[in-house]
Amino acid sequence: MKKERVLVTGAGGFIGHHLIKYLKKKGYWVRGVDIKAPEYEKTPADEFMILDLRSWPNCLRALIGINHVYNLAANMGGIGFIHSHKAEIVHDNTLVSINMLEAARLNGVSKFLFTSSACVYPSYRQDIPEVTGLKEEDAYPADPEDGYGWEKLYTERACRHYYEDFGLNTYIVRFHNIYGPLGTYDGGREKSPAAICRKIALAKKNGTIEVWGDGKQTRSYCYIGDCVEGIYRLMQSDYHQPLNLGTDRMVTIDELVGIVAKIAGKKILKRYDLSKPQGVRGRNSDNSRLRKVLGWEPKTPLEKGLTITYKWIRRQLKT
């Protein structure tokens, strides 16, 4: 049977690059689109186009001959970046998301996936470290992460309306802290696992690293291999509501540092900086609906995923 022609936007980024490799192994013809090429590896896409998807004509061009869309394109980064670039993020991501939805409708695309974020969840449900796992319906009453989270929540609603009003099969996945090799690890856009891996790789034995916040804030982390499998499984389903994609193992930032230090074989001291952005106090995924809808959930243990990630970052720092 002939496989569909698929488009992955944000294909020059971390998750998009891994997703293309996964889809190619499944036998799909894949077009990748981004404002930049992948940084660490050559793209495995059948076709790669450098396009700025804030531009309406570029969205139409990207979708020529495409059946399925995985819309990952976004201006984003770690907690420091999203706190300091709110207007830029809202402007860029709203344009990309709405342009791509409308272009998909006009081009007769049969499936459209939007990658949302756990940042859509309200701060009042995440104000203590011992947080209860976040269920999909907990996004309302709304009070998402300012800027980045509001755009994600708005586009979730837009996807719902395009599904209900136009019959475009939209899928919405809420990522919970995706990490792994080939991800940004410096420059200000990196997420906490990559930042900690970099700091420990550069530290001497018995060295000290800076930790943003008091180290007691909690998160759950999902390895990239599980992430792309979950994305694909969702696109094969008939479920069109937002769905969490993450693990439900919650750790403190202090515990995350301890795991990476053990992997590195180093004793690491911590210097806390309470002046830096640290996000919500606690965040964890409730995977009840994920298990029910997909009959599956992420399997990679945090220690295994961090070992792969740490070794990759260490190699990058030595080159």
Tokens of 259: 């795991």
| Residue whose pair of structure tokens reads 């106090």 in the numeric block | 281
From the number of C-beta atoms within 10 Å of its C-beta (0-12, 13-18, 19+), residue 190 rates as buried
pLDDT at 242: 98
Question: How confident is the model over 62-82, as a mean pLDDT?
Answer: 93
| Residue whose pair of structure tokens reads 């293309």 in the numeric block | 20
Q: Are 162 and 101 in contact (CB under 8 A)?
A: yes
Q: DSSP letter for 120, please.
A: G
pLDDT tens, 1-48? 467 899 999 999 999 999 999 999 999 999 999 999 999 999 999 999
**Superfamily in which the 5-179+222-248+288-294 domain is placed by CATH:** NAD(P)-binding Rossmann-like Domain (3.40.50.720)
From the number of C-beta atoms within 10 Å of its C-beta (0-12, 13-18, 19+), residue 299 rates as exposed
| Average pLDDT score, the chain | 96
Using DSSP's 3-state secondary structure scheme, residue 87 falls into helix
Q: How far apart are CA 66 and CA 69, in angstroms?
A: 7
pLDDT tens, 130-165? 999 999 999 999 999 999 999 999 999 999 999 999
Report the first-to-last Cα separation within the chain, whole angstroms. Answer: 44
pLDDT at 90 over 90: yes
Q: Are 233 and 173 in contact (CB under 8 A)?
A: no
* Side-chain half-sphere exposure of 122, counting CA atoms within 13 A: 10
pLDDT at 100 over 60: yes
Task: Just list the catalytic residues.
Answer: 148
pLDDT at 1: 47
pTM for the full predicted model: 0.95
pLDDT at 230 over 90: yes
Q: How far apart are CA 300 and CA 56, in angstroms?
A: 39
Domain range annotation of the chain? 5-179+222-248+288-294, 192-219+250-284+301-312
Architecture per CATH, 192-219+250-284+301-312 = Alpha-Beta Complex (3.90)
pLDDT at 252: 97
Question: How confident is the model over 57-70, as a mean pLDDT?
Answer: 98
pLDDT tens, 158-205? 999 999 999 999 999 999 999 999 999 998 889 899 999 999 999 998
Q: Are 122 and 143 in contact (CB under 8 A)?
A: yes
Please report how the helices 224-235 and 14-25 are oriented relative to each other, as an axis angle in degrees rounded to 10: 60
Q: What are phi and psi of 102, to 5 degrees?
A: -70, -40
* Side-chain half-sphere exposure of 69, counting CA atoms within 13 A: 35
Q: Are 300 and 227 in contact (CB under 8 A)?
A: no
Show Cβ contacts of residue 41 under 8 Å, excluding neighbours closer than 6 positions: 17, 182
